[in-house]
């Protein structure tokens, strides 16, 4: 008796620790993956939204998953949800295994499906709909196991199969497998005679329903069999996803068919647990991608306008992907540091400053942020619109809706802005913002007074011309020409030509900043100016700019080493890696 209670406590503590580990992982180590998910859906509390989900298999589970995913807006809330979901699955598996007569020895295996789902969810395109579908399928199986009347159980199974298929989609095979295995274990209540004959019937019906659904819906059979919305790319079925489904299908029943070892049970339990812990941990570690998490963090912080946090993050670890560098440069520009500190961080050319347009749903996001803050409202709108349009599973984006509402408000396109805002008013976390933004519709005076929109209205182009992505410096120049107080446009223009290593254009554009209120020449400009000077003059006499002593000394030493040493790069790198000269001469 005491032992039983002891084991119960141990199991409870194991589940609790498992839940805490999940929560810590997503809340602390992987939070921006949750923000990433949240921005690629727009859960609406409208009858139409739920009605749309009823019309295809798995839509209802997807609805529940999307409802929960909206809470990812707050990473810790998302982490809690994932912890609850995965622990619930583990508990369901454990309950079913016990009910089917599995030995307590196999208890650690109840964690296996949840561990596999954890691995699956590390993929930024893995959606919560799969774990939710598994919960619902296991719940249906639990009810089936609770029915004691054998004929009642069969009737329930036959009725539940099509219903469950429509609710969860492909994960309903878990239910079918569970039922089939249930007929094979002794502890299950069974009809007199041969209960096995029902197994092929279930299996045949199991295959039949997706085939029937193909006639009712417009989804390919692969999606109907494996789930329509478990993965963001509709026609991709990752192996780990299939493995998680198989594990959830087999784990409840299989241990009942396996006898525990005759001797040294505790040792074997320890070994199985250690294997799961080590194997699962290693797999999760291997599946997680800190580089992606870092990029998502930069994007999230840029979205939330947390410029200082971006710079602090970069100071701790210099980003090197164009995606992250883009956000960093934006943060530097927004805090007035782009001219001074741009080369203090790794730069990968203009692609890290204003990336060229790619037809995907992620890369245009930070570029849209840049255009927005610069005042290139149409380009910001275009990039955000295209990003949303490129979301592979056709979902909408709360983030995109907000930006599109803003750009339309700034452009005075109030009817279109209202369309986006009305939709946002049906959400949980964007509602308040949308309602406030509605008060700006048709209110020119209020928009003019808005600290951000008012300025962007003044900064945006007012003359029409065809925008050229390939002549970005010219586009930035036109923006500056339109509003001569747009310091950010000036800094981006100079940063653009510096990163292109186009010193001729730099010298042409540099004088345009004379009335922008600088109290000193930004360091990178000083470095460029003195470099140009040294190319044409033997010394610093007659230098027309106020260049700091540090820069003058630096360029002299840099030039001396560069011209005297055959392989000067390793010598110059420690001291001059953060200068324009190093970027100019050594960065490819």
Partner 1 sequence: MKKERILKRKKAYHYLVWIICLLAGCVPTPKQIEDTADPIPMYPDYTDIMIPTNIAPLNFLLRNEADAMQVTLEGKSKEIQLSFGKKAIFPLDLWESFLEKEVGNRLRITVIARIQGKWFRYPSFYWQVVPEKLDSYISYRLIEPGYEVWNKIQLREREIKTFEERVIADNKDTDGSCMNCHIYGNKKGSLSMFHLRGKQGGTILNRNGYLRKLRLSNDSLPDGAVYGDFHPSGRLAVFSTNIIIPALHSLGSKRLEVYDTTSDLVIADFRKRRLITSPQTSRKDELETFPTFSPDGKWIYYCSAPILPLPDSIRSLKYSLYRISFHKDTKEWGQQVETVWDAKKHNGSACHPKISPDGKYLLFTVADYGTFPIWHRETDLRMMNLQTGQIDSLPAVNSDKSDTYHSWSSNSHWFVFASKRDDGLYGKPYFSYVDSTGKAYKPFVLPQEDPEHYDITLKSYNIPELSTSELLFDAEEIQDIYNEEEAEIFK
Size of the site for partner 1 (CB under 8 A): 41
Q: What is the DSSP letter of 464?
A: -
Contact between 577 and partner 1 (CB under 8 A)?
Answer: no
Cα separation, 132 vs 118, whole angstroms: 13
Q: Residue 572, SS3?
A: helix
Rank residues 49 and 67 by Cβ distance to partner 1 and give the closer one: 49
107 is written with which tokens?
């208890």
Site residues for partner 1, 508-537, by CB under 8 A, read none
What is the DSSP secondary-structure string of 340-379? HHGGGS---GGGGTSPPP-SSSSTHHHHHHHHHHHT-HHH
> Among all chains, which residue has been given the structure tokens 């109907």?
224
231 beta partners: 126
N- to C-terminal Cα separation, the chain = 72
Contact between 411 and partner 1 (CB under 8 A)?
Answer: yes
Rank residues 277 and 478 by Cβ distance to partner 1 and give the closer one: 478
Per-residue burial over 49-71, b if 16 or more Cβ lie within 10 Å, else e, is: eeeebeebbbbbbbbbbbebbbb
Site residues for partner 1, 381-400, by CB under 8 A, read 382, 385-386, 389-391, 394, 396
| Neighbouring C-beta atoms of residue 279, cutoff 10 Å | 12
Q: Which of 462, 470, 536, 564 binds partner 1 (CB under 8 A)?
A: 462
Q: Which of 41, 379, 425, 579 binds partner 1 (CB under 8 A)?
A: 379
- Minimum gap (Å) between residue 413 Cβ and partner 1: 6
Q: Residue 77, SS3?
A: helix
Q: Which of 6, 146, 317, 422 binds partner 1 (CB under 8 A)?
A: 422
Rank residues 219 and 580 by Cβ distance to partner 1 and give the closer one: 219
Q: What is the DSSP letter of 235?
A: T
Contact between 415 and partner 1 (CB under 8 A)?
Answer: yes
**348-377 mask for partner 1 (x: CB under 8 A)?**
---------x-x----------------xx
Please list the alpha-helical segments (H only) found in 122-171.
129-146, 150-168
- Minimum gap (Å) between residue 127 Cβ and partner 1: 17
Contact between 416 and partner 1 (CB under 8 A)?
Answer: yes
Residues 6 or more apart in contact with residue 82 via CB below 8 angstroms: 22, 23, 26, 121, 128, 131
What is the DSSP secondary-structure string of 25-41? IIIIISHHHHHHHHTT-
- Minimum gap (Å) between residue 383 Cβ and partner 1: 9
Rank residues 422 and 449 by Cβ distance to partner 1 and give the closer one: 422
Site residues for partner 1, 197-236, by CB under 8 A, read 215-220, 234
- Minimum gap (Å) between residue 359 Cβ and partner 1: 5
CA angle in degrees (0–180, nearest 5) for 547-553-556: 110
Contact between 168 and partner 1 (CB under 8 A)?
Answer: no
Rank residues 227 and 554 by Cβ distance to partner 1 and give the closer one: 227
* CA pseudo-torsion sign 167, 169, 171, 173: positive
378 and 415 Cβ atoms separated by less than 8 Å: no
Rank residues 396 and 500 by Cβ distance to partner 1 and give the closer one: 396
Query: Quick one: which segment of 68-76, 155-163, 458-466, 535-543 binds partner 1 (CB under 8 A)?
Result: 458-466
96 and 142 Cβ atoms separated by less than 8 Å: yes
Cα separation, 105 vs 272, whole angstroms: 9
Contact between 465 and partner 1 (CB under 8 A)?
Answer: yes
> Among all chains, which residue has been given the structure tokens 């600290």?
451
CA angle in degrees (0–180, nearest 5) for 128-134-138: 150
Contact between 413 and partner 1 (CB under 8 A)?
Answer: yes
Rank residues 69 and 363 by Cβ distance to partner 1 and give the closer one: 363
Contact between 556 and partner 1 (CB under 8 A)?
Answer: no
Q: Which of 48, 445, 504, 567 binds partner 1 (CB under 8 A)?
A: 48
Contact between 461 and partner 1 (CB under 8 A)?
Answer: yes
Contact between 378 and partner 1 (CB under 8 A)?
Answer: yes
- Minimum gap (Å) between residue 468 Cβ and partner 1: 8
Contact between 441 and partner 1 (CB under 8 A)?
Answer: no
Contact between 262 and partner 1 (CB under 8 A)?
Answer: no
Residues in contact with partner 1 by CB under 8 A are 46, 48, 215-220, 234, 357, 359, 376-379, 382, 385-386, 389-391, 394, 396, 410-413, 415-416, 419, 422-423, 460-467, 478
């Amino acid at each position: 008796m005491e032992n039983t209670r002891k084991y119960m406590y141990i199991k409870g503590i194991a589940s609790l620790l498992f839940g805490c580990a999940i929560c810590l992982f997503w809340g602390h180590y992987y939070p921006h993956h949750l923000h990433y998910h949240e921005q690629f859906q727009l859960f609406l509390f409208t009858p139409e939204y739920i009605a749309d989900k009823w019309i295809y298999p798995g839509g209802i589970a997807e609805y529940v998953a999307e409802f929960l995913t909206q809470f990812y807006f707050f990473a810790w809330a998302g982490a809690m949800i994932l912890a609850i979901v995965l622990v619930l699955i583990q508990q369901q598996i454990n309950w079913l295994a016990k009910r089917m007569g599995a030995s307590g020895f196999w208890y650690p295996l109840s964690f296996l499906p949840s561990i596999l789902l954890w691995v699956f969810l590390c993929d930024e395109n893995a959606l919560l709909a799969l774990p939710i579908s598994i919960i619902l399928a296991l719940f249906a199986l639990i009810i089936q196991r609770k029915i004691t009347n054998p004929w009642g159980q069969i009737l329930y199974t036959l009725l539940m199969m099509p219903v469950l298929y429509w609710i969860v989609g492909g994960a309903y095979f878990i239910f079918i497998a569970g039922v089939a295995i249930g007929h094979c274990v002794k502890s299950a209540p069974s009809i007199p005679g041969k209960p096995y004959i029902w197994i092929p019937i279930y299996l045949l019906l199991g295959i039949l329903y997706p085939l029937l659904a193909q006639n009712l819906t417009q989804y390919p059979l692969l999606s109907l069999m494996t789930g329509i919305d478990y993965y963001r790319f509709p026609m991709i079925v990752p192996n780990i996803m299939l493995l998680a489904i198989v594990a959830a299908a087999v784990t409840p029943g299989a241990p009942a068919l396996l006898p525990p070892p005759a001797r040294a049970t505790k040792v074997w339990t320890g070994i199985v647990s250690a294997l799961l812990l080590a194997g699962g941990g290693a797999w999760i570690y291997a599946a997680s991608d800190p580089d992606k998490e870092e990029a998502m963090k930069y994007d999230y912080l840029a979205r939330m306008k947390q410029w200082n946090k971006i710079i602090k993050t970069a100071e701790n670890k210099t980003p090197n992907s164009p995606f992250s560098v883009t956000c960093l440069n934006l943060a530097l520009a927004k805090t007035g540091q782009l001219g001074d500190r741009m080369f203090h961080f790794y730069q990968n050319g203009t692609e890290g400053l204003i990336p060229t347009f790619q037809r995907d749903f992620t890369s245009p996001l930070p570029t849209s942020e840049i255009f927005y803050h610069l005042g290139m409202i149409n380009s910001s709108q275009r990039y955000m619109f295209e990003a949303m349009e490129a979301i592979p599973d056709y979902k909408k984006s709360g983030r995109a809706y907000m930006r599109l509402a803003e750009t339309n408000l700034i452009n005075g396109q109030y009817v279109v802005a209202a369309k986006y805002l009305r939709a946002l008013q049906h959400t949980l976390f964007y509602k308040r913002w949308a309602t406030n933004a509605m008060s700006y519709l048709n209110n020119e005076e209020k928009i003019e007074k808005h600290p951000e929109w008012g300025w962007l209205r003044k900064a945006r182009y007012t003359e029409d011309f065809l925008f050229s992505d390939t002549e970005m410096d010219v586009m930035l120049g036109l923006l500056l020409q339109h509003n001569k107080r747009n310091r950010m446009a000036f800094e981006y223009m100079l940063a653009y030509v510096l990163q292109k290593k186009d010193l001729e254009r730099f010298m042409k554009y540099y004088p345009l900043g004379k009335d922008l209120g600088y109290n000193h020449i930004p360091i990178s400009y000083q470095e460029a100016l003195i470099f140009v000077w040294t190319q044409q003059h033997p010394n610093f006499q007659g230098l027309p700019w106020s260049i700091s002593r540090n820069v003058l000394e630096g360029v002299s030493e840099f030039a001396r080493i560069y011209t005297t040493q055959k392989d000067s790069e390793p010598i110059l790198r420690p001291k001059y890696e953060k200068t324009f000269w190093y970027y100019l001469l050594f960065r490819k």
